[in-house]
Amino acid sequence: QVQLAESGGGLVQPGGSLRLSCAVSGSISGIYALGWYRHAPGKQREWLTAEQIGGDTFTANSVKGRFTISRDNDKNTQYLQMNSLKPEDTAVYYCYCNRAPRIGGMYDYWGQGTQVTVSS
pLDDT at 104: 83
- Is the Cβ–Cβ distance between 109 and 25 less than 8 Å? no
Whose CA is closest to 117, among 13, 4, 7?
Answer: 13
**Sequential pLDDT tens for the chain (120 residues):** 899 999 999 999 999 999 999 999 998 888 999 999 999 999 999 999 999 998 999 999 999 999 999 999 889 999 999 999 999 999 999 999 999 999 888 999 999 999 999 999
- Is the Cβ–Cβ distance between 63 and 49 less than 8 Å? yes
* pLDDT 10s digits, 20-33: 999 999 988 889 99
